[in-house]
Structure formats: structure tokens, C-alpha cells
Structure 1
Amino acid sequence: MHRPHPTESDVAAELAVVRQDLEPRYAAQLPGARAAVLTRLWRALAHEPLPWIGGRNPGRDGLTVRLRDGRLLEGPVADPYATATYVRAVRLDGVPHDHPARLVTELGMPHGTEFAAELAHSVASLALSRAGQGADDDDQEAGGDSEPDGRREPGGQPSGGDPWPVADWEWEQRVVDGHPYHPNCRSRPGFSVAEQLAYGPEHRPLVELALVPVPAAECLMSGVWPQELRDGGELLLPVHPWQAAHVLKRAGEQAVVAHPLMSLRTLAVPGGPHVKTALSARLTSSVRDISGYSIEVAAVLSEFAESLAARSEGLLHMTRTLGAATANSPDLAAVLRESPQVYADCARGERVVPVAALATTRLTASPGWLADFARLAVTVGLRLLEQGVALEAHGQNLLVVLSADGAPLRLVYRDLADIRVSPARLRRHGIPVPELSGRVVTDDETTLRRKLFGSLVAGALAATAGSAPALRDALAAAVRDLPRTPDLTALLEEELPTKALTLMRLSPGTPGDQWTALPNPLR
């Protein structure tokens, strides 16, 4: 089997066999990929509570990080909300380092060996992702210093006069660089080069999902499993081909062709639903299997979400879960969701765009547009939080309905598995409490606010704005006329919570999310 963490040279060697035409572009993209991952790593070194860091000394021209062993790291001022690459090298005791994996190796922190291997793979995979974009793409440059991060020129439509994409997967596949803040933004351990090209959404492939028959009596199911995915007394569970080959060691007798979305393991069936598959590989931070708990609560959460959307005064849609099933294994499960595209009025020229893909348009360069979008997103998010639901509204889960001329009209939210529901808040507002238990249920204010603020403000809005000043201006305009609830006061006055993504990767014995606090852009 191929190495779990291929290096840059490993990827080059595989490319020579499977896609020789990409070799020159891959080599040209490596310096930019190293800098992009190093920028994300420097953000963590500047802002996360890493136990081996003794202090941080910001200056006018840069930041000095003091390690507990006395060594010094020096680099540029770290904007925690910046998405552009701005770190080409950092100095460790005066010695410059331009490769994030080698820097982590030199730092010698606990659990750093595995993390360094993941960073090396993230660099190589990111260069491969960028190389896979067409040579004539407007957002690509030929040189090694290019920054083809999926962004396009400012304005209304994609650059070059291209029309808006029509199909939902076309928007998703514009996101080339992956997570805007995670150093493991493109780490895909266990995937060969051929598999990345065959399954990665940024490479725009068609993927055949195997349909694995499982006796219905042996399955846990919620919602309605469609008749076309049944065969007598068996359910036909859609299985990702990587999962079928490497985990289940079995294939289905039938298959359905689909387009991979930005999460890689969720795919759009043309004319049909979105299919969330189990993928027992670690992508960024998490292994992407599907727990029995997620299957069990899927239908209840979907029905509850519909009732919440009905209270949103037309500002929010929640995609329905059509059916969910598992063969009593997180490795063999699937969730069927309706496409967010059903909430666009195509006759009016509306489009549903994942927030993560907004940076591929010219819209985000307009301060007025950013303010309008932030006002919509913050209004909806805070209203739901006050009522008792905290969305995990990062750029992948949150979508926006745009008018024909690009104005933000409404929001669409998908993937309910990680929301948080507060029974106490629901009761306070006279909202019926759904029959739920387990991890989605909490009345803890810190947990609820972290969930929303960390995903929406420090995640989706920050990445769309692209910098602390742009985020500050957009938020200031967004909150000006909102009612001063305790949640809004916390957003205005407290530091902004966000997941400590690097700390989590360096803490294998600590389950669950870990958090850090970022400077509040409004203070």
C-alpha cells in the first residue's frame, strides 16, 4: 500500500507514472504551497495556547515567539483572520525556515513527528490541487510564487467574464486550497496521487459510488430510504470507492455516478440528492465516518430544523435529510440530503453558493457587499442562538442565495450533525423541545457561543472578508441595528473563540474540540 503521508518527491514520482503532464505545474506550485501552509502554521504559533510556548512579543514590524526552552521564533505580524499567503519564512534562533514540516521537526514539540509528516503531505497535496487547475485559469499563475488559492478578481461575477456556474457542484469545486486556516488544509493521508486526482473535488472528476447491499433488518435507519436504493429486503448503501477499496474490502454490484463536493466524502448525484458517505480517513482534523448517533437523530433533527426555518421570516432554509442508514458500523453508513439548489429561484437568476466559494467571485472586494452579507449572516445566526440553536456555520455548511446581480438574499444551512440545541432557551421562547439527547443537547452558554461565533464569525465571515480590517468594518455595519441581547454583547466585547486546530492535532490523547481566543476585531 502507498505511504500514508507522501512527501513532495513521492508525489512527483507518482505523477511521473499517472499524470506526467502535471509534473511541471506541480513543481512550479510547490513554493507557493509551502508558504500557504506555513502561513496557517504561523497563525497557530501566534495565537493558540500551545504548552511549549512561553510568551509572545508583538512589535510594529513583526512577532517574536519565545519557546519555553529559551529559543526564539521570529516572523511577521500575524493577522488571525487573513486568508492570503503572507509568510514566506520564519526564523528560529536566527535561522530561516521556509518549509512548515521542517520547522515543526526543528521545534521538536511533543507529537511533532506525526504532525510534521501531515504538514509535508498537506504541502504536496496542495501543490497537486493547484497544479490540477487548468493552465488557462484566470486565478492561476505560472511561476512558483503564484498564489492560486481559488480567489478571482474583484467584482460581480468570476473573472474573465465567465457566467455564474449553474450546477451546485461547480461552485463547490472552485474551492482549491481547502480549509482557510488549518495547516492540514490539504492533508489526505492514505490517498495516492491517482486517488486524489480521481476523488478530489478540485480536480473535477466523476466518482462512481458503489451500492453495497445490506439486509434491511440489520440496519439502523431514520427518515425514508428511497425505493431506488432498495433491492427486495436489502438496502443499497452508497459507499465511496476509497472506502470500498481500503476499509470495507468489498464493492457493490451496482454504482451511481456523482460529483464530489468540497468535503470530498459528500457527493452530488445529478438530478438527485447529496450523498454523505463514510470515509474512514483523517481529513484536516477528523476521521470522516458516520456514527450511529448521527443516523439515529437525523430525522428528528431534520424535522426540527424545518420548524426553525419556518420562524426565520424567509431568511433561512435548512436542507432536509431525506434518509439515513447504517449497517451498524460507522464505516458503512450514508446520509441522503436534498440539494441546497432547490432553494434558489432559477427563473429569477438566483444561485446558491457555499460561503467558502464566495472568494472565487469578485463580490468580496466590495465593502458594501461584505457588510450586507455579514448583516444577513449575523442577524440569522444570533436570532437562532437566542431562540436556542447554535449552528456550526462555517464556510462549508453555510450557503447564501444570491440574486442575479449578486446581492445576498437568504441563507441555506446544511449538515445538522454538529449543531447544538439548548432546551432551556427553546422553552423560554415557547418553542417545542425535540426529543433529542447526546452531544447536540446543551444549555452551556460558553459551548453555544463557541459553536456559533467560532464557525460563523471567526470562520465563514473572517475567511470571506480575508483580513482583520475588512472583518471589523463588515461586522461593525452588521451589528449596528441589532437588539442588544447577551449574546450580541458577548460578540461585541469578548475575545472571539475559535478552534485551536494545531493544538488539537498535537493532543492525540485529548478528545473533542479545544479552543483559543482571538483578538476581537470590533475592539
Structure 2
Amino acid sequence: MSGVAVDPPAEMAGTPGSVDEVVPSCADAEEIAEGAALAALLRCCVREVAGPRGQVWTAGPYLLLRLADGLIRVPASGGPALRFDAPPSLRDQGTWRPLTLERLIRLVQAQLGGPEAGNDEFAGQVLGSRAVVAAVVRRRAVTVPPEDEWLASEQALVFGHPFHPSPKARGGRGWLRYAPEAHARFPLRLLGVRDDLVATGGDAGALDGLGVAPPGYTLLPVHPWQLGLLGAELAGPLADGRLVDLGETGEPAVPTSSVRTVYEPQTGRCLKFSLDVRITNCVRKNAWYELVASAELSGRLEPVFADLALRFPGTRWLPEPGWRSASLGTRLLEGLGVIVRASPWQVAGPGVTPVLAGALAAPGPLTGLGAQGRIGAALRAVRADPAAWWAAYVDRVAPPVLEAYFRHGVVLEPHLQNVLIGLDSGGMPVRAVFRDLEGTKLVAGRHDLSALPGLVARTSTYDPARGWDRVIYCLMVNHLPEIAATVAETACDGPAAPRATAELLRELWAVARSRLARYAAGHHRPRLAALLAGAPLPAKANLSVRWTRSADRDASYVPVASPFTGMTA
């Protein structure tokens, strides 16, 4: 068992806040983290709490909202993206005073019924997310991002989901050494699984390129963080030879934005591991039915994406052809399960550089992106002709997602962390690469799933209405508004920025509507007609999910105004 069940060293262990003493100081880290955490929680309050109660309004440059017994104001822009242009203030005895994160948490708790009535973990998760951002900012000050621009973009999401109450909440011990935002790199651990105990589905043969297993054994890579978490449970199988420890891989793997998925350079593949720790909403692990579904969906989606690529040149996806684990009971089957995924370099094509959409949505000094490379070229192209760049972006991303739903009965999940944008040498969007089959579902009633185990079939489907809500939330609420806001801010950087940005945003949304109307021409689909008519959009209620401790799949939605409201053909 020696060398396998390893706890993090003492200086890396503990809660997110405990890493402070081992990370080089950055004077602004706490202030940056406070501002980011405050803005994320406040956006949730606008969308999910004050907005639905009619307690949000505007006054000049300010957005005002009432929450419990507090009146809050903040200068805002960005349209649906809700960018805050200065710190928020709270009305206190006739005077506007700075709003703190702790005070906002208390207002949220009071509005939602208090921790006794709801969630005694909530405050700790929000404050823990703030501590993670502070630690990451300090670490980024003394580390270097990957030279590969795609990997650098994967590691650029310092603040996380802009409409999540605890976007960087992270459980477990020693998390910083594995954090993509901290530019982590680390070798994987290799186990050998006795051949009669190998559990596998699809084609996981790429894993055999990681090394050489002894006779009678099959290679199984393990994330070192998960290895430490499973240490005690691996003792028996390692002692009796069901598993053997084969040491570390030769080259370090690079974690991508989801934390548990890494790029493994020896095989040129991405590997999605289990991590039995909570990251944002969920404990991240590969449940047995998700392992089975990944290979099953890859097979079913191959002809779907072939058709989409013909109809919409530039459409690509990252197949998940196989998975591997060990048949040592459900806990270890899931804990050791690894899904093989293609890398974006395998599908982007010559002359095209893939970058994470989420990184394009938030370029700036803290991301380390934007000055050089294809992202720099993209920003220059935006400044030269924002409408043309935006039209190309919408054309790459939106029509294939809608076509997958309507023609093929497939629910893609095109949020900012699940889409890679291929940029040409001039920075123009020429590819949209979709990934992560955990979020991809089939529309119930459109596919024959009778041969699948019942739980696999149930967790692989959405009913048509819920599937549509998921598609439109990811596309029209999570994704396009953030890109549009960044395009407008980038193109209107100057003295007249606020007014010019608002005007350009309206123009960009008119362009987006015209591109979607062109796709919709000739189709008689009520849902598409309602979208173009400006019907309210479904926004995922992340604050409610965290407050009620619901499963992410069961998240509710709140209606938000469409950027197409009031537009005509």
C-alpha cells in the first residue's frame, strides 16, 4: 500500500482558507475575491429573489433591489449578463454604505427564511468560494500558464459562473495542487487491474498508451486526488493482488476547467475522472450509469454530428468512445472509473486554435489571456467589426444546437464551459466544438432505449419541455449574453463607453435574432417562433439549488426577459 494512500502534506491540507500561509502574498487578492463573490451572489438575488417579486428597478445608471429589510444599489451594464461597474452599496440610516459579502449573506438568509429553516451550510459555501478565489489569485501571481492557448484558456476561469452563489466552492483537502485556475500540472497514478476484474465499455484502448501493465493486468490511470480519498478502500485489493501500483505517468497531466477532467499529453486525450468532492453544485463522480451512458451516447451521436457538420460546417464534437474501471463493488467501480474523451486538437482542423468559450467571455488581466495569440486576434477583430465577429459566433454556436433538438431529439448543453470556439489566424470564429456527454440528453419518446438498463435510460433523457428549457437556458441565458456583453465592452472602450455599449448591445441582439430567424425560415415550430417573438427565457435557479440542496438535474428555472423583446422582423 505504500505510495498509494497519500494525504496532502500538512501545509496544503484543510479548508480553502487554510492555504493562505503557504501561498505568496498578493495585496489585492482578498479585495478581488470579495468583489467577485459579492457580485456573483448579488446577480443571483436579482435573478431569483428580488426580480420575481418585482423588487428590482433602475434609476439612472443604477440597478436597485430590495432584499429582506435592505435596499441595495449598484451601477450595472451588459444587458442580460448584468455586469456591475462599481461595488454595490446598502442604504443604512439614510446613507449609502459599502455592502459586504457577510451582510449580503445575512440578507439572503433573512429573505429565504434563515439558516434554521433552510440551509446551515449556505454561508460556509459562499465564504469558502471567496477564499478559493483569493488563494487562486495569489497563486496565479507566481505561476505561468500553459503555452498551449487552449489549455491556458481552460485554466483562465478565475471567478467561475457569474450567476452562482458559490461558483468556486470546492470541498476536500489539498485542492490547490490540483486546481486548473492555479495553473496546476501533476502526474497521474497508474494501477494495474487484474484482467478478470476489468470493467469497461466502448473503446478505452487509448489508456494502454500510458505505460506497460504486467501480464494478467490492464492499465487504469487514477487522479492523485481521488487516490488519496480512496486510500483505505484500496488497501485490500492492493494487498491481495486484485490491483497493483505501477507508479506515476511520465508526463504531467493538465487539469481543464471542470477540475476533474485533465488533458493527458502521452495519449493526446482528455480523461474524465471521479472526484468525490463537491465542486459548485455537485459531488463530482462518474456514477456507474454515467459510465455506461457515455459510450452509449457517443455511438448514438456519431451520425447526429455527422449530419450537423454537413448542415452547419464548422460544427465539431468531442466523442467519449470508452471507459474503464475495476469491478470491485459500486464504490470503487465509480471511484476508479475514467472516461476517455477526444481532445479539441483532434477535431479543430489545421490552422484553427480551439479556446474555451468561457475564457472569451471574460478576457482581462487576471485571466492572463487577450494580449497575444488567437484570443488577442479575436479581440482585435471585435474592435474592427463587432457585428461581423458576433454574427460569425452566433452562426457557429446556435443553429447546430437548435437543429440537434428539433431534427434529432438531442439536448446539447452549450454553456460556456462546454463549448470550445475554433479561431482562425484572424481571430474569427470558424468552429464550435461541443463536449461533455454527462450533460447531453436524448428527448424522451424520440429514441429506442429499450435495450438499456432502466436507470441508464432514465438518466439519459429529458422530456421535451425540460429538454427545451435546458437548451435555451444554456444557449440564450448562460452563453450568448456573456459573449455579447464582452463584445460590446471590448468594442466600446472609451469615454462614451456606457451609452455606446448599451447601443451596441441592442444592435448585437438584433443581429443574433436575424441569424436565428434565417435558420428558422421555413420551419413551423412553435417553440422557435416564441423564442424569436421575445418570450421570457428560462434561467436556471442556482441559488435555489444551493439553498434547497437539490440535485443539479432537478434544478428549477425562473423566467427572465429575452433580449429579443420588442424586436420585429
TM-score over 0.5 (shorter chain): yes
Quote how far apart the aligned CAs of 1:425 are: 4.6
Match of 2:138 among 107, 131, 134: 131
- In the alignment, is residue 89 of structure 1 matched against residue 88 of structure 2? yes
Distance 1:180 1:107 in 2: 17
Report deviation, 1:106.
Answer: 5.1
User: SS in structure 2 opposite 1:48?
Assistant: helix
Distance across 2 between alignment mates of 1:31 and 1:476: 39
Distance (Å, rounded) in 2 between the aligned partners of 1:437 and 1:234: 32
Q: Does the Cα contact within 8 Å between 1:129 and 1:177 map onto a contact in 2?
A: no
* 1:200-253: CA deviation from partner (whole Å, max 9, x where unpaired): 112223212112333344443211232346544434332222211234445943
Cα deviation, 1:139-169, whole Å, max 9, x if unaligned, reads xxxxxxxxxxx9xxxxxxxxxxxxx964642
Q: Map of 1:226-375 to 2, 5 A cutoff?
A: 226=205, 227-228=208-209, 231-249=214-232, 252-256=245-249, 257-271=252-266, 272-312=268-308, 313=310, 314-327=313-326, 328-329=330-331, 330-346=334-350, 349-359=351-361, 360=363, 361-362=375-376, 363=378, 365=382, 366-375=386-395
**Does residue 1:75 correspond to 2:95, yes or no?**
no
The answer to whether the Cα contact below 8 Å between 1:356 and 1:396 also exists between their aligned partners in 2 is: yes
Residues 54 and 487 of structure 1, relative CA distance in 2, 3 Å threshold: closer
Give secondary structure in 2 for the equivalent of 1:212.
strand
| Residues 450/222 of structure 1: CA separation in 2 closer, same or farther (3 Å cut) | same
For residues 71 and 318 of structure 1, the distance between their equivalents in structure 2, rounded to whole angstroms, comes to: 48
| Secondary structure of residue in 2 paired with 1:44 | helix
Confirm whether residue 114 of structure 1 aligns to residue 121 of structure 2. Answer: yes
Q: Which residue of 2 aligns with 1:420?
A: 441
The match for 1:157 is none
Question: Equivalent residue of 2:335, what SS?
Answer: coil
Amino acid at match of 1:281: V
Contact (CA 8 Å) 1:34, 1:98: kept in 2 or not? no
State the AA in 1 paired with 2:69.
Answer: R
User: Does the aligned pair in 2 maintain the 1:450–1:497 contact within 8 Å?
Assistant: yes
1:105 aligns to what SS in structure 2? helix
Q: Which residue of 2 aligns with 1:486?
A: 526
Corresponding letter in the other structure for 1:189: G
Paired with 1:60 and 1:368, the residues of 2 have a C-alpha distance of 33
Corresponding position: 1:496 with 2:537: yes
**Structure 1 unmatched ranges of 5 or more:** 138-149, 151-163
Whether the 8 Å contact between 1:259 and 1:268 is mirrored in structure 2 is yes
Question: Which range moves more in the overlay, 500-509 or 211-220?
Answer: 211-220
The residue aligned with 2:161 is 179
1:58 aligns with 2:62: no
Kept in 1, the 8 Å contact 2:387–2:511? The answer is: yes
Q: CA deviation at 1:373?
A: 0.3
The aligned residue for residue 446 of structure 1 is 465
Percentage identity across paired residues of the two chains:
26
Q: Distance in 1 between matches of 2:123 and 2:103?
A: 7
Kindly state the Cα deviation for residue 305 of structure 1 after the two structures are TM-superposed.
1.5
Match of 1:515 among 540, 543, 557: 557
The residue aligned with 1:400 is 421
* Cα separation, 1, equivalents of 2:473 and 2:450: 25
Provide the C-alpha distance between the structure 1 equivalents of 2:64 and 2:157, rounded to a whole number of angstroms.
33
Distance in 2 (CA, whole Å) between partners of 1:174 and 1:498 is: 24
Given that 2:90 and 2:98 are in contact with CA atoms closer than 8 Å, whether structure 1 keeps it comes out as yes
Contact 2:50/2:66 (<8 A) preserved: no
* Residue 215 of structure 1 pairs with residue 165 of structure 2: no
Judged with a 3 Å threshold, the aligned counterparts in structure 2 of structure 1 residues 456 and 120 are, in CA distance, closer, same or farther, namely: same
Q: 1:487 to 1:134 in 2, by over 3 A?
A: same
Counterpart Cα distance in 1 of 2:98 and 2:446: 50
| Distance of 1:332 and 1:406 partners within structure 2 | 40
- Return the offset for 1:459: 1.5
Corresponding residue of 1:170: 152
SS class of match (1:353): strand
Q: Does 1:200 align with 2:237?
A: no
Give the secondary-structure state (helix, strand or coil) at the position aligned to 2:160: coil
**After the TM superposition, which of the residue ranges 495-504 and 312-321 deviates more from structure 2?**
312-321
1:456 to 475, 481, 488: 475
Q: Is contact 2:317–2:433 with CA below 8 Å preserved after alignment? A: yes
Work out whether 1:190 is the aligned partner of 2:193: no
Question: Matches of 1:50 and 1:210 in 2, distance apart?
Answer: 48
User: Helix, strand or coil for the counterpart of 2:323?
Assistant: strand
Taking the aligned partners of 2:171 and 2:106, their CA distance within structure 1 comes to 19
* Residue type at the aligned position of 1:99: T
* More helix as a share of residues: 2
Q: Is the 8 A contact 1:55 1:66 kept in 2?
A: no
Which consecutive unaligned segments of at least 5 residues does structure 2 have? 1-9, 236-244, 364-374, 487-501
Q: CA RMSD in A?
A: 3.2
* SS in structure 2 of the partner of residue 489 of structure 1: helix
Q: Aligned equivalents of 1:326 and 1:97: distance in 2? A: 52
Name the residue aligned to 2:101: 100
CA distance in 1, matches of 2:550, 2:473: 23
Identify the residue that residue 241 of structure 2 maps to in structure 1: none
In structure 2, distance between residues paired with 1:169 and 1:510: 30
State the SS of the aligned residue for 1:208.
coil
Provide the C-alpha distance between the structure 1 equivalents of 2:123 and 2:97, rounded to a whole number of angstroms: 17
- Over 3 Å counting, the alpha-carbon distance change for 1:243 and 1:87 in structure 2 is farther
| One-letter amino acid of the structure 1 residue matched with residue 318 of structure 2 | T
Query: Which stretch of structure 1 is more off in the superposition, 433-442 or 290-299?
Result: 433-442
The answer to whether the 8 Å contact 1:274/1:339 transfers is yes
2:73–2:90: 8 Å Cα contact kept in structure 1? yes
**8 Å Cα contact 2:132/2:169 also seen in 1:** yes
Distance 1:85 1:326, change over 3 A: farther
The letter for the 2-side match of 1:91 is L
Quote the offset at 1:171 in angstroms. 2.8
- SS of 1:381's partner is helix
Amino acid at match of 1:472: W
Alignment correspondent of 1:389: 410
Q: Which amino acid aligns with 2:406?
A: E
Q: Which amino acid aligns with 2:165?
A: P
**501-510 or 357-366: bigger deviation:** 357-366
CA contact (8 A) 1:36 1:85 kept: no
Distance 1:423 1:254 in 2: 45
Deviations 1:445-465 (A, max 9, x none): 321111111112212222222
Amino acid paired to 2:337: A
SS at match of 1:253: strand
CA distance in 1: counterparts of 2:168 and 2:214, whole angstroms = 38
SS in 1 for 2:321: strand
- C-alpha distance 4-96 of structure 1, shift in aligned 2 (>3 A): farther
1:83 is displaced (CA, Å) by 6.4
Contact kept in structure 1, 2:320 and 2:341, CA below 8 Å: yes
> Could you give the per-residue CA deviations for residues 449-495 of structure 1, whole angstroms, max 9, x where no partner exists?
11111112212222222378366345224323122533322322321
**Counterpart amino acid of residue 248 in structure 2:** A
